[in-house]
Chains A and B, each alone.
Chain A
Amino acid sequence: MSEKNLFHKGDEVSRRQFMIGAAHSYLGVSVLPMLGATVATSDTFGAAPPMRPRTAKSVIFLNMSGGMSHLDTFDPKPENQDVQGPTPVIDTSADNVQISGFLPKTAAVMKHITLFRGMRSNQGAHEQGQYLLHRSYAPRGTIVHPALGAWVMRLSGRRNTTIPGFVAIGGSSENATGGFMGAKYGGVPLGNANAGLKDSKRAHSVSKAEFDHRLSLADKMNSDFHGRFKQKQIKTYHGLYDEAIKLMTSEDLKAFDIKNEDSKVRDFYGNNGFGQGCLLARRLVEHQVRFVEVNLGGWDTHSDNFVSVEARCQILDQALAGLISDLERRGMLDHTLVALGTEFGRTPDINDNTGRDHFPRAFSSLMAGGGVKGGFVYGETDRKAHTVKEGIVTPGMFNATIGHALGLPTERVVTSPSGRPFTIGDEAKPVKEIFA
C-alpha cells in the first residue's frame, strides 16, 4: 500500500481503534509495564507451583526510616528504668500486652495487631539497613535487588490493570525499584500524598480537542512507519499510547486524589504527610492496588531521644490506629495486610545526649489484618531489650511472611538476567505462627 493511499483513507478509519485491537491480538494481554505487570510470569525453573491460599489481597507497608526505637514504642521494659528512661508504659486492648504510652490509640487497636519483638538485622547503617529491609538482601556491587513490592508484582501481578499495582508514598524512590527485574515491576514513587500520579492529567496548555487531534496526526504518521517496520517493539510502543489514554481516562485515577475525602476523614488520619499518605494508601487499596508503601522518617534519635520519639509517635499513633480502624470499619481489614517495619532499633543504653544509637541486634515491627492474629506477640527480648531471647525474625523472614499472607510461593526462585538465583526472602521461611 502506498503512503498516499494510507493518507487518503481519511479520518473515518480510526488507527487508534485498530491499535487497541492490535495490542490485544499481538501481545495477548493489555500491558502496562512500569506500573507493574498484569500477570504473574512463570517460574524460570519450569511450571509454576500452585499459589498458596492467601489471607491478604493487598499490602500497606509502613516504613519507619531512621531506625525506630523499640523500647520507646513496642517493646518497653518498665521494670528496668535504666534502659526504659522516661517513656511511660500502658496496657492495651490485648491481654498482657503493654506498649509505650506514646501510642495510646494504637493500644486501643492492639487486638488486631501481631507484634514482632524479635527482629534482628545484620546491617547497622541506615542505607544498608533500609536496603536489607526492603529487599531481603544486603547491598552488593554487582546487582540491584528488587524491592519487596516488585517481588509482589512479579509473583502475583496487578489486581486492577488500569492503574499502577505498586505505589510508594514519600521516602526514597529507591524503595520502589524493580532492581534486576526491571522497571516494569518497579513501583511508582509519589513525592507526597497530594502529588497525584505524575503527568496523568492533560497539560493546561492543551485543550481536549487539540489533544485528540494531535494524537490523530501522530497516528497518521505512525501508520506509514509501522507499515515499513512490522516489528513487535514498534507495535508495543504504539500500544503504550493507548494504555496512556486508558489511564488518563480511568475512573480509578481518582483514587489518587485525596481531596475527594471528607475533611473529617482526613483529620482522622492526622493532618501531616504520613497521615495523609496512609489515607491515600487506603484509597488505593480500595481500588485494588496491590502494594503501597508509606514512609515516616525522623527516627534517627541519637540525641533527645525521648522528646523526638514522642513527637514521631504522635504522628504514627494517629495514622496507624486510624488506618487500622478505618480498614476495619470498611470491611477491608481482613484482606488488607498492614505491615510496619524499620531498619533497626536503638540502643537500650541511653547515651550522653539523652539519645539512643543504632541497634540492629534487637528491635520491633508489626503486622495487622490480612489474616494475622490479633493481640499476639511473636518473639521476646531479654530484660534489657538487648538481645532476642526467642523468636528471631530477620528482614528476609518478615518479607517472606508478607509474601505468605499474599499466597505467594516464597520459595520460588527468580533468576536475574545474569543467571543468579533469588527468592523473596533470601531463602528465609515465613513465620506461619502469626496467622490466625
Chain B
Amino acid sequence: MKQLFALNIAAIVFALFNAGSASAQLGLRSGAVAPNQSKEFQLAAARKVDKLVGAEFRRKQTRPLPKSTDAEFLRRSYLTAIGRIPSYEEAAEFLDSEESGKRVALIDTLIGSYGYNMHMFNWWADLLRATDSFQNTSGAPYIKWIKDAIAEDKPYNKMVHELISATGGGWQNGAVGYYMRDKGMLKDNMANTTRIFLGTRIECAQCHNHPFDSWKQMEFYEMAAFTAGMKIGERDSFSSYLSDKEDEEGMDRGLRDVSRLIRYAVFDFSVADAGNGSIKLPDDYKYRDGKPGERVGAKSLSGFGKNVRVSLKSKAKGAGEARQEFADWMVSPQNPRFTKVIANRMWKRVMGTGLFEPLDNFSSGAAPSNPALMAYLEELLVDLNYDLKAFQKVLFHTYTFQLAPSPAQHPARSPYNFNGRQLKRLSAEQVWDSLLTLKIDKPDVRKGNGYSGGAIMFRNRPVLVGKKTMKDIYSEVIAIDSPAAVWKYAENLHKQIKGDKGGGAKASGKMKMEMMMAQNARKYGQEMRASELSSPMPNGHFLRQFGQSDREVIENASTDSDVTQVLSILNGHIEKQITSNGGSKVFKVVNDGRTDADKIDRIFLSILSRRPSEGEKELFLNEFKRNRGAAVRNAVSALISTAEFMFIQ
C-alpha cells in the first residue's frame, strides 16, 4: 500500500520529466539551420535528457526529489555557470521576480556573460595544465589562446585539433603551448593527450605492459611515434650564439636582457615539425613483439574507431604529417570515445557528478550509470557541432538540474541516478570569486592574465606600446638568417626601448585594451577573479590553500577541507579582507538597509543568496539589539563560517 502511494506520487513527477517529449522529437529531427541557436531546440533537448533520467527512476522505482527552491536554484546556477555566488542585487532581483520563465532567462543571461568565460577558463586551465610560464618561456600566449577560444566559443573538436596539430612560434600561435608545456617529455605529453581527450590512461605502458588494463608497451610506443622527433625550440645555433654574447665580460645588462627576451620568445618558444611518425623502442625492451632499439611506425590505439598507422616503408611522409593524421583521427566522428569523454566531462561540470567516473579512466570495466542517456548526450553534442556552451545550456535547462539537493551523500565513484544534486565543497576558485563578490562591485569586469599577450614586457613593464608587439619581434627575428644579424637586431631593439618615451599614440584600440589589461594586474593587485590572476597562484596563497590545482598534473585541484582553511576564515584572509574591512561591498549594501530586519535580509542575500528563516531573523534581531556596533561584522563572519556557505547545493 505504502509503495503504491509512493509510485503514484512518482508518477506525477514523472509527468513533469516527460512534459514536452513530443516536441522534443520534432525539435531534434528538425533544425537544419544552426539548430543549436534555437531556444526550441535547447528546451526540447533538455526535456529529452529529463526523460532519460526519469526512465532510470521509473526502472528503479525511485521517487524523485522535489524541485529546488528559487534560492537553491539561484545560488547553484551562479556557482556552476559563472563560478561565484550572486551579488546582493542579483540575488534580490531574481528572488523578487514573478516572471514565470525566470529560471530559463537566468541561465541564458549567465551563460552569455563574461563570468561564464572566466569560470570556464579555470576548468580548461586545470585540464590542460596551462601555467604562466614553462621554465623560461612565458605561457601568456597559450593562456590567451585558451581564453580567446572560450570567448569565440570555438567548437571543442576544432580546438583539440588545433592543439594537437599546433606548429610555429608561440607568439604566432599560442596553441603550441600544448607541447611547450611538456618540453623534453613528449612521451608524457602523449600519455596526457590520451588521458585528457580519450579518457584512457596509458602512462603505465610507457615502461611495461599495463598490469591491469590491456595496453601493451608496444602500443604506447606506437602512439608516441606520432609526436616523436617533433622539435620544440628551433635554431639552436642562434640561441647559443646569443647566449655566449650575453655572457661576455662587461656586457650591458639591458642589452643582455633584450637578448634573453628574444631567445626565450622566438627560438625557445616554437614547435617545429621534424618527426616522421616513427620511434625507437627502448634499449631494455623485453617483450616478444619487438626488439630493443627497434624502430616502429606510429599506430593509433585500437578500439577507437578506424585506425591510422604510419608504415616504416613509406618514406613519403613529410615532416609533421603523422601528427596531422593523428589529430584528424583524434577528433574524427568515427572515434566515439572522443565525444563520450567530453560529453561526460560537461555533464559532470553542470550536474556535479559524472555519468561515469573517474572521468579519465574509461577502462574496459567502467560503464556509464545510464547508457541511454550517455548515448543521447553524445548524439546531442555532435548535433550541436561540439559547441560546449550550447551543450551546457541544454543541461542547465533540464529539470534534472533543478531538482532539490540530495539529502544523502552518495558514495564517490559509484553509479549515480542524479536524483538531486550532491552537496560539494566549493572549488578554490569558487571560494575566491565568491569572496570577491562580497568585497567589490562588478567582480567580472577586470581582465588580467593572458591579455598582455601582444605587449612587450621588459623588466615587468610594458614598452614600445603601440609601436611594436611580441608578434612583431617574432616575425622580424625569424626572418633574419644569421646569428650575428639577430644580435644587431637585439642592439637596435635595446636602443628603441631605452629611447621609448611612452606615448603609444598610434596604439590600436585592441592594443590599448590589451595594455590596459596588462596594467590591471598592478592596478587592482589581487582584487580580480581567480582566472585573471597568475596561473596557478604560488603555493601558500589563499587559492592554493583552498585546493587550487598546481596545474602540473591534469585536474589536480582538491576540494578537501582542512584546518588551515578554517584558520584562514577565522583569523586570516577572510577576517582581514571581508569581515573587518568596512570598505567591502557587503558592508556598503548593509549600510543602505533601512531597518535592522532589512539589514539582516541584505546580509543573508549577500552571503547565502537567500532570505533568513523566521528563526534566523529572530536570532540576528537579538544580535543587533545586543551588539549594536559589532552585529554586522559578527553576522558576516558567522554566515561565512557556515557549511552552507562553503558547499554548493
Residue ranges of A at the interface with B (Cβ–Cβ < 8 Å): 3-4, 6-8, 32-35, 140-144, 172-174, 177, 180, 182-184, 188-189, 191, 198-203, 205-206, 210-211, 213-215, 217-218, 220-222, 224-226, 228-234, 236-238, 240-241, 243-244, 247-248, 418-420
Contact = CB atoms under 8 A, between A and B. Distances in A.
Contacts of B620: 217
A35 B564 contact: yes
A238 to B, nearest CB: 6
B553 A234 contact: no
A180 B553 CA distance: 10
B576 interface: yes
B575 A203 contact: yes
B626 to A, nearest CB: 9
A177 B558 CA distance: 13
10 nearest A-B residue pairs (beta carbon): A34-B562, A141-B188, A199-B572, A217-B638, A7-B615, A173-B539, A205-B580, A199-B567, A231-B409, A218-B641
Contacts of A222: 642-644
Nearest to A231: B409
B634 to A, nearest CB: 5
Contacts of B547: 183
Contacts of A243: 563, 566
A240 B566 contact: yes
A184 B562 contact: yes
B647 interface: yes
14 contacts: A3-B616, A4-B614, A7-B619, A141-B188, A141-B553, A143-B553, A191-B540, A199-B567, A210-B634, A217-B638, A221-B644, A225-B644, A230-B407, A240-B563
A174 to B, nearest CB: 7
Interface of A is mostly: helix
A224 B641 contact: no
Q: Interface size bucket, B side?
A: 35 or more
B302 interface: no
Contact of B561 (A142, A198, A206, A240): A240
Given A174-B539, A218-B638, A237 B563 contact: no
A189 B541 CA distance: 11
Interface string B607-648: 000000111101110010001001000110111011110110
Interface in B102-155: none
A199 B568 contact: yes
Given A220-B619, A231-B408, A214 B641 contact: yes
Contact of B562 (A183, A202, A203): A183
B641 A34 contact: no
B556 interface: yes
Given A198-B572, A221-B616, A234 B643 contact: yes
B204 interface: yes
Contacts of B191: 141-142
B361 A217 contact: no
Given A221-B639, A229-B407, A211 B615 contact: no
Contacts of B387: none
B182 interface: yes
Contacts of A199: 564, 567-568, 570-573
Given A229-B423, A234-B423, A420-B204, 9 more contacts: A141-B192, A142-B554, A144-B556, A205-B580, A210-B630, A214-B641, A218-B641, A243-B563, A418-B201
B550, B567, B627 pick with most chain A CB within 10 angstroms: B567
Contacts, number: 186
A418 B571 contact: no
A202 B575 CA distance: 10
A183 B560 contact: yes
Given A189-B539, A217-B638, A200 B571 contact: yes
Contacts of B579: 205
B277 interface: no
A404 B613 CA distance: 58
A3 B409 contact: no
B155 to A, nearest CB: 27
B552 interface: yes
Given A3-B615, A7-B616, A214 B182 contact: no
Nearest to A210: B630
Nearest to B639: A221
Contact of B560 (A7, A33, A188, A231): A33
Given A144-B550, A217-B634, A243-B566, A232 B409 contact: yes
A244 B539 CA distance: 21
B5 interface: no
Contact of B571 (A201, A221, A226): A201
Interface string B163-183: 000000000000000000110
Contacts of A217: 619-620, 623, 634-635, 638
Contacts of A226: 643
Nearest to B649: A229
A205 B575 contact: yes
Contacts of B189: 141
Contacts of B538: 173
Nearest to B642: A221
B192 A206 contact: no
Contacts of B572: 198-199, 203
B405 A229 contact: yes
B185 interface: yes
A179 to B, nearest CB: 9
B378 interface: no
Nearest to B568: A199
A6 B615 contact: yes
Contact of A237 (B408, B540, B619, B643): B643
A6 B613 CA distance: 12
Nearest to A174: B539
B203 interface: yes
B260 interface: no
Nearest to B202: A142
A306 B619 CA distance: 70
Given A206-B575, A240-B562, A241-B641, A142 B188 contact: yes
Contacts of B425: 233, 237
B570 A244 contact: yes
Nearest to B635: A217
A213 B182 CA distance: 52
B598 to A, nearest CB: 19
Contacts of B524: none
Contacts of A177: 539
Given A144-B556, A203-B580, A238-B643, A233 B409 contact: yes
Contacts of B539: 172-174, 177, 189
A141 B182 contact: yes
A184 to B, nearest CB: 7
Nearest to B581: A205
Nearest to A178: B558
A281 B511 CA distance: 52
Contacts of B556: 144
A237 B642 CA distance: 9
Nearest to B614: A4
A142 B619 contact: no
A131 to B, nearest CB: 11
B352 to A, nearest CB: 13
A198 B567 contact: yes
Contacts of B580: 203, 205-206
Contact of A142 (B203, B614, B637): B203
B615 A4 contact: yes
Interface in B428-446: none
Contacts of A247: 563, 567
B553 A237 contact: no
Nearest to B210: A419
A210 B212 CA distance: 56
A244 B615 CA distance: 28
Contacts of B201: 418-419
B561 A237 contact: yes
A233 B405 CA distance: 14
B643 A203 contact: no
Interface in B562-610: 562-568, 570-573, 575-576, 579-580
